[in-house]
Structure 1
Amino acid sequence: MAALFGARVRKLRLAAGLTQVELGEMVHVVGTRITQIERASGARPTLELARALDVALGADDLLVELWPFVYREAFPDWSRKFMEYSERAVAVREYAAHVVPGLLQTEDYARAVLRVGRTLGSAEQLEERVALRMGRQQRLGSPDRPELWVVLDEAVLRRPVGGQAVMREQLARLLRTATEPHITVQVLPFDQGEHDVMGGSLTVLTMPDGTEIAYTEGAHYGQLVEDPDEVRSFALTYDRLRAAALPPLMSLDMIRSVREDNHRGAKVPSRSDRRRLAQEQLQQSGGRQLRGGGRRIPRGRRPRP
């Protein structure tokens, strides 16, 4: 795809009667950068550069439409396939062990996460990854948005990724999800002890036809699980984590406490207290399931158990 992108740039440049240096000046890069793009060598073009080339060459969004496919070549097959499934899923259930899930990350938090432990060749490649991650979040505001249910390990809240300022804004972003009717956030506290997904994160996707896909991920690997029996096992594991986590309203209180830097004095309710409060919430709602912020989940929009 990078070679195809480069060939299109070269064809459009020659049709416009421009040299590589002249085109570079128009999009504010050196001429050798245009050479690299046309030869599919060096760093891949950023989204901003693809847009600038599209305008300069009058490509009518052709280069912008090609750019995501160039970007995806940087990912292994299993990762690309998972992203394709995610873009069509009607429900996403995710347990995050170490960092906030990509769909809920702020830009600065995403940049801090992507900068660590990856062999990116340049700052441009880092910005490509950040831009794509932010782009995937747009689906949460679209008409076909999925139901998103996230269980965060308490460690996710405690670790100041990117520094205190970045983390405070990230926690504020999580709190703002309470206003979204299709997003639920829970926290799995440390006092729950060991569990079946301690080694990494887990995502269960529900597709439009009702089938489910599971995805497990560690620091440097990922595994897409499509076998129905294995997926059912992972879905049950996720439901156990969800049941062990703090109820949504209490989870938001804990996130707020950590953000206000009062977490050392914050008292995590005991399991019996959590069961009692959860039962009170159910009774207040007439037995229907509550989500963060006290709103009910529409019957037709709940993730499948």
Structure 2
Amino acid sequence: MALDETTPPEHLNPLERFGRDIKQVRLARKLTQKQLGRATGYSEGYVSKVESGTLLPRPSEKFAKGCDLAFGTGELFAGLLRNIEEGDHPSWFFPYLNLERKAVRILDYSASLVMGILQTEAYARAVFRASHPREDKELTEGRVTARLRRRELFERDAPPLLWVILHETCLRTVVGDAEVMAGQLEYLQAAASAPHIDLQVLPFSAGAPGVHTRPFTMLTFDKSPTVLYADGPQGGKLYDSTRTIALHLDSYDRLRAHALSPGESLALIKSLVKEYRS
């Protein structure tokens, strides 16, 4: 919807409210968009998009902190930005997100759906619509935006190393429609070309190892112990016991051993893209 000064606050999404607050304080400080852009290290166009609530996936943390410095508002806007991000994720998932941002290596096994950080916008939207069919559209879009923001990890100068094993089920379960799936698989192909991402497919022919293993993610750090994240009936949970981590590292090695090589995996994905496009 078009954002203007007469739009009631309750009709604005979180990014639009954030943008309006930025604009109101900027005007109160008698700053132009160009001046605020210069103060925060961004362009006038960037500021304009923030204020209109159209900058996706969201304004950067650096911009929010720059606004606080320029406005003399302490940590007001940095805090508002964090609140937006927390509000778009379920409460049980936020501890994992904090650790994901600090990880130097991410090992993931996805059993039925492509892991969130590698999902396209259309695929993520279809997942959320299927899992929350009666949810307000605005809430769904907030979830999608929050999921896409996780990709910012890979925009760093030293991004974490990601190794993901996708069960073949992830590639053949139609999420949304054939067009959505083709786009998702093409994105996986592109992602796998990055030097910090390794991708393997565990084929149906691997049998029991894939069937009897539930999805999980392990995060490793420079100076902290490895942490395991696994989904449960009441949401995800973090584990750090030495025995649990060791068992899952063994399981991950076994899955890798039964998976297709990275080259074979990409060849399979490429053939499936053709199927979805035909």
Pairwise TM-score range, normalised by the shorter structure: 0.7 to 0.9
Q: How many corresponding residue pairs?
A: 229
Q: 2:182 aligns with which of 168, 172, 179?
A: 168
TM-score (norm 1): 0.68
Corresponding position of 2:50: none
Q: Which moved more, 1:172-181 or 1:182-191?
A: 172-181
The answer to whether the Cα contact below 8 Å between 1:186 and 1:248 also exists between their aligned partners in 2 is: yes
Gaps of 5+ in 2: 29-66, 69-75
Q: 1:32 to 1:135 in 2, by over 3 A?
A: closer
Question: Does residue 243 of structure 2 align to residue 229 of structure 1?
Answer: yes
CA distance in 2 between counterparts of 1:65 and 1:216 reads 29
Gaps of 5+ in 1: 1-23, 35-44, 264-305
The answer to whether the Cα contact below 8 Å between 1:47 and 1:128 also exists between their aligned partners in 2 is: no
Give the deviation of 1:193 after TM superposition.
Answer: 1.2
Corresponding position of 1:211: 225
Q: Which moved more, 1:77-86 or 1:131-140?
A: 77-86
SS in 2 for 1:112: helix
Question: Does residue 143 of structure 2 align to residue 104 of structure 1?
Answer: no
Q: 1:70 to 1:32 in 2, by over 3 A?
A: closer
TM-score (norm 2): 0.74
CA distance in 1 between counterparts of 2:140 and 2:197 reads 28
Residues 195-216 of structure 1, C-alpha deviation per residue, up to 9 Å, x if partnerless?
Answer: 2774631101101215200111
SS in 1 for 2:275: coil
SS in 1 for 2:216: strand
CA distance in 2 between counterparts of 1:261 and 1:126 reads 29
Q: 1:192 to 1:135 in 2, by over 3 A?
A: same
Identity %: 33
Give the deviation of 1:179 after TM superposition.
Answer: 2.1
The answer to whether the Cα contact below 8 Å between 2:209 and 2:254 also exists between their aligned partners in 1 is: no
Give the deviation of 1:57 after TM superposition.
Answer: 3.7
Q: What letter matches 2:236 in structure 1?
A: G
Q: 1:87 to 1:114 in 2, by over 3 A?
A: same
Question: Does residue 14 of structure 2 align to residue 46 of structure 1?
Answer: yes
Q: 1:166 to 1:184 in 2, by over 3 A?
A: same
Q: Which moved more, 1:63-72 or 1:134-143?
A: 63-72
Corresponding position of 2:48: none
Residues 37-93 of structure 1, C-alpha deviation per residue, up to 9 Å, x if partnerless?
Answer: xxxxxxxx4224322332234393644651332442565554211111111000000
Give the deviation of 1:221 after TM superposition.
Answer: 2.3
> What's the RMSD between the two structures over aligned residues?
2.6
